[in-house]
Amino acid sequence: MKNAWIINAVALLLVVLGIISQRQADDLLDLADEITTATSVFTGSAAAQQTYLVEKVVDGDTIKVRMNGSLETVRLVGINTPESVDPRKEVECFGVQASDVLEEILLNQSVTLQSDDTQADRDRYGRLLRFVFLDGQDVGLWLLQEGYARESLYSDTPHVYRDAYLAAEQAAQETGRGLWGEGVCKK
């Protein structure tokens, strides 16, 4: 919220001084809105929800949590990591790294889960479709920022954080992070 206010003030000052055009100021204000949305991803949205213990990391985009006494499989919404465990497919470039890093950060940790009204509750395999937060941070967004995942729609309807996810993926590509690194994954 504070960052968005700062961007608004700077945009107004730059317009008044004639340094940027009104269109550029509008772009900055759009960025401020995205920051406000992203900030809610890291704070309020997940903070009040119940936490669940991650007992297993299946791969880079699927975990198992203890929920109401049973083990529930959760598919992270909005991302897709390279395959590492599907017996029908070869292990894809950076799949092992994505699985390893998710295990490193989530195994035996308490996470919060957030559903998205624009998405189904479960996928065709019966997995819960959720955004996963660790200490208030969106794990899917972090995986995208670090280049461990690609933004991916699981349905025809865009998820609530799609703009932030696309921006994170683009930034990872532009900076050559993770699977986007030069010579890391050849097409």
DSSP 87: T
Q: What pLDDT, on a 0 to 100 scale, did the predictor assign at position 43?
A: 41
Q: What pLDDT, on a 0 to 100 scale, did the predictor assign at position 154?
A: 74
Instruction: Identify the CA nearest to 60 among candidates 129, 128, 119, 139.
Output: 139
Q: What pLDDT, on a 0 to 100 scale, did the predictor assign at position 115?
A: 94
**Low pLDDT (below 50) residues in the chain:** 1-3, 35-47
pTM (2 decimals)?
0.73
Task: Give 108-148 as a 3 state SS string.
Answer: CCEEEEECCCCCCCECCCCCEEEEEEECCEEHHHHHHHCCC
Instruction: Please write the tens of the pLDDT for every residue from 51-85.
Output: 999 999 999 899 999 999 999 999 999 998 878 77
Q: What pLDDT, on a 0 to 100 scale, did the predictor assign at position 145?
A: 95
Q: What pLDDT, on a 0 to 100 scale, did the predictor assign at position 82?
A: 79
Q: Where do the structural domains in the chain lie, given as residue ranges? A: 2-42, 49-180
Q: Which fold has domain 49-180?
A: OB fold (Dihydrolipoamide Acetyltransferase, E2P) (2.40.50)
Active site residues: 75, 83, 127
Instruction: Identify the CA nearest to 129 among candidates 143, 110, 116, 112.
Output: 116
